[in-house]
Amino acid sequence: MGGYGLDKPPRCSISFDTPCGALLRELEQIWTEIGEQEQDKDRMFQELEAECMRVYRRKVDSANADRSQLRQSVMAKEAELKALVASIGENTTQFKVNEKHASLKEQLAAVTPLLDDLRAMKEERIKQFSNVQSQIETINAQISDHNCQHDDGSSKRLTNDHDLSTRRLADLQMQLRNLQKEKSDRLQKVFVYVDEVHCLCAVLGMDFAKTVKDVHPSLHGTNSDNSTNISDSTLEGLTQTILKLKAEKRTRVSKLQEIVGKLHKLWNLMESTEQERRHFSEVAAVLGSSEEEITSPSVLSLETIQETEEEVERLTKQKASRMKELVLKRRVELENICRNAHMEPDTSTAPEKIVALIDSGLVDPCELLSNIEAQIAKANEESYTRKDIMERVDKWLSACDEETWLEEYNQDDNRYSAGRGAHLNLKRAEKARVLVQKIPTMIDNLIDKTFAWEDESNTPFLYDGVRLVAILEEQKLRRVQKEEDKKRYRDQKKLQNLLLKEKELIFGSKSVPRKTSSFNRRTSGHHPNGNGAGFMTPMPRRVSAGSATPELLTPRSYSGRNGDTILLWKDKWSGQPIMDRSPELHSFADDDNISMHKAKISDNYYSMFQLPRSNVAHQQLIQVSNSLEQIRNNQDMDICLGPHVIFCRTILPFGRFDLFTGLIESGRLRSVSSKQRQTTQRDTIAPPPRSLATLFWGGGSNMEDRTHLFFAHSVKASGGALGLNGTQMKIFTI
């Protein structure tokens, strides 16, 4: 055995080129080194080979058993797969396994998920079938009014569980939908019937719960199982109940309408108050309503009908005792309507006649009341047709009242006093004059309207029993006579004044003569600039100390009389005469005792009135001054002069009145502002050569300066101060 016997033939069938052969070679080398015999080596190699064969055999047997088991599993699952596919009725190609060139494990792995899906699909399909069949059985039980017994085993419901196809499931679902629709229709019908029963019970005052429970207990909301019965018997019971309730409602409506009709008549006859009627307001609505419109709760209940009958009985008992009072009250109402419309009521239903007829029993009070009601309706209708004319009559009467007030106002000697509220009376007088001028037109229009009404109605228009046209014609004639009397009085007064003037021209005036001053005369010695002129009328807010004095042009000279009052104002402002704006000025200028003069100063025209001093002239002057004061507030008046200067409702008496010019140019009088008022009283002004009275409007360039009026009379030096009859001069602020 040289070289460890490696050059000898192998003692076993195992190849030495494999890892196992390498181990055998290493084992043989070890044995050689140990010194084992060749026979022992061969024996041990044979034992090893035999042991390896036993191991291989066991492995082959185990693998063969596994193969058989796999084949059985694959076959069993394929059989179950085919059965499930047939039961469910799905497409077989979808669940077919490809067995070509596939091992058993691959076949098993392919079949197992398909089988699991089919099992789950079968369970789901069984649940669907069970659910649908359960609902079908329940609805059938509700419709047939039989109790539905629920079983735990679903196999009892599936009489043909091997057929779980979608076609069969669709058929069952269609059957279920039809049953559900029928159930919904029945349930809706039951709800409609129940609602109608509820409304009828509410109107009739009946117990709704008891009524529906008599049909079926499940129809009321207190039912424990909360399932509404929809069987044919329930629907039939509800139908019969509704018919009975409608018949009862029809009977009660007819009865109540008859009672309410009597109640309405009694209310109208007895003139029941709104509070008495309010309690039966819902019942009263039944009279004009149809059976379907009556839906108020308990309006047709037996208690309501009984209460209404009792009210009718009570009013019937009171009817006889109150008919006389009611008829008389209606008669008073008729008289009030006729009185407001200035008509005469019908004498056939006079109160004394009504009492006599009712007490004698010859006339039914109801018939008498109906007659008066007809007269009231006729009076209202006629009053409506007379409305337009009556409104015009009221306006005419109001204008007549204002005319009466104006006549009394014109006769009042103190109407122009500076008392409180005098300006309001002046405004009212102006409005009254405008309204009085419209009275003739109002009368003519009213006559035309009245004739048109009479032609349309073919009856005369009576006003408090007298024809209105006759009243208007009489008033028209009175106004003509009144105007003639006024004209006759004015002519007589003018004649008396003319005779008085002729007498004065012949025998002379008794008044004390006063010093005359010509309007054309020029003053001298007082104008350093040499621009002396006649009477200077200062312009408002325009006169300055160095301005030239304008010349006064007048058609004739004027000599004032002692005690006369002179009034001067600007005749035109912005092209419009002041006299055209004030009716008082017109009446003032038309007086024959008043002398009026026109003058022109610096292209401005002025009017000056001279009137004798008397109470009447005084009142006229107050009236005109108040009018001029209003014009002055609108910046229309320039100057107001006179021995009785009226301004701001203040009368300042003076003695003689002389016109004097030149003081402004010489600087002897000047404008004084409010800041200079205290210092002005200490200024010394040289006395003029004669007595004077001057009115001056002054103003400053500064907006803070106030315009003042300066009054001076018999100016003279008095202790170095300007004096007024020996007293200090007064300054009046505008």
Residue 678 reports pLDDT greater than 50: no
The residue range of the domain holding 494 is 387-507
**Tokens in use for 354?**
């009504």
Asked if 717 and 577 sit in the same domain, the reply is: yes
Whether 283 maps to a domain, the answer reads: no
**How far lies 289's CA from each of 253, 293, 732, in Å?**
10, 6, 85
Whether 379 maps to a domain, the answer reads: no
Asked if 486 and 403 sit in the same domain, the reply is: yes
Q: Please state, in angstroms and rounded to a whole number, the distance separating the CA atoms of residues 726 and 723.
A: 5
pLDDT tens, 436-461? 999 999 999 999 999 999 999 899 99
Q: Which amino acid is at 640?
A: C
Asked if 502 and 576 sit in the same domain, the reply is: no
Q: What is the mean pLDDT of residues 275-295?
A: 83
pLDDT tens, 142-192? 887 665 444 444 444 454 566 777 888 888 889 999 998 988 888 898 889
**Last residue of some domain: 486, 507, 528?**
507
Residue 46 reports pLDDT greater than 70: yes
Q: Which amino acid is at 286?
A: V
Task: Considering only residues 84 and 431, tell me which one the structure prediction assigns the higher pLDDT.
Answer: 431
**What's the pLDDT at 444?**
92
Residue 10 reports pLDDT greater than 80: no
**What's the pLDDT at 688?**
36
Q: What is the mean pLDDT of residues 251-273?
A: 86
CATH number at residue 392: 1.20.58.1520
Residue 447 neighbours by CB under 8 Å, 6+ apart: 469, 472, 473
Highest mean pLDDT among 11-20, 155-164, 558-567, 582-591 belongs to 11-20
**What's the pLDDT at 659?**
30
Asked if 402 and 487 sit in the same domain, the reply is: yes
Range in 180-189, 398-407, 553-562 with the lowest mean pLDDT: 553-562
Length of the chain in terms of residues written = 734
Whether 559 maps to a domain, the answer reads: no
**How far lies 55's CA from each of 16, 52, 398, 604, in Å?**
20, 5, 149, 160
**What's the pLDDT at 686?**
36
Range in 208-217, 573-582, 689-698 with the lowest mean pLDDT: 689-698
Asked if 627 and 487 sit in the same domain, the reply is: no
Asked if 497 and 573 sit in the same domain, the reply is: no
Q: How confident is the model at residue 370 (pLDDT cuts 50, 70, 90)?
A: confident
Range in 180-189, 268-277, 668-677 with the lowest mean pLDDT: 668-677
Asked if 484 and 607 sit in the same domain, the reply is: no
Core vs surface per residue 282-303: b (16+ CB within 10 A) or e: ebbebeeeeeeebebeebbbee
Asked if 580 and 720 sit in the same domain, the reply is: yes
Asked if 494 and 394 sit in the same domain, the reply is: yes
Residue 111 neighbours by CB under 8 Å, 6+ apart: 74, 77, 78, 81, 97
Q: What is the mean pLDDT of residues 55-79?
A: 87
DSSP-based three-state secondary structure for 130: helix
**Last residue of some domain: 137, 164, 191?**
164
Q: What percent of the chain has pLDDT over 70?
A: 61
Whether 297 maps to a domain, the answer reads: no
Asked if 443 and 569 sit in the same domain, the reply is: no
Whether 622 maps to a domain, the answer reads: yes
**What's the pLDDT at 327?**
86
**What's the pLDDT at 463?**
92
- Total number of domains constituting the chain: 3
Asked if 721 and 577 sit in the same domain, the reply is: yes
pLDDT tens, 569-618? 444 444 445 455 455 455 555 555 555 555 444 455 555 555 554 545 45
Q: What is the mean pLDDT of residues 701-729?
A: 32
Asked if 494 and 404 sit in the same domain, the reply is: yes
Q: What is the mean pLDDT of residues 426-434?
A: 91
Look over the chain and give the mean of its residue pLDDT values, rounded to a whole number: 69
CA angle centred on 259, ends 257 and 263, rounded to 5°? 110
Q: Which amino acid is at 227?
A: S
Whether 180 maps to a domain, the answer reads: no
Whether 698 maps to a domain, the answer reads: yes
Give this prediction's pTM: 0.36
Whether 188 maps to a domain, the answer reads: no
**Last residue of some domain: 121, 138, 164?**
164
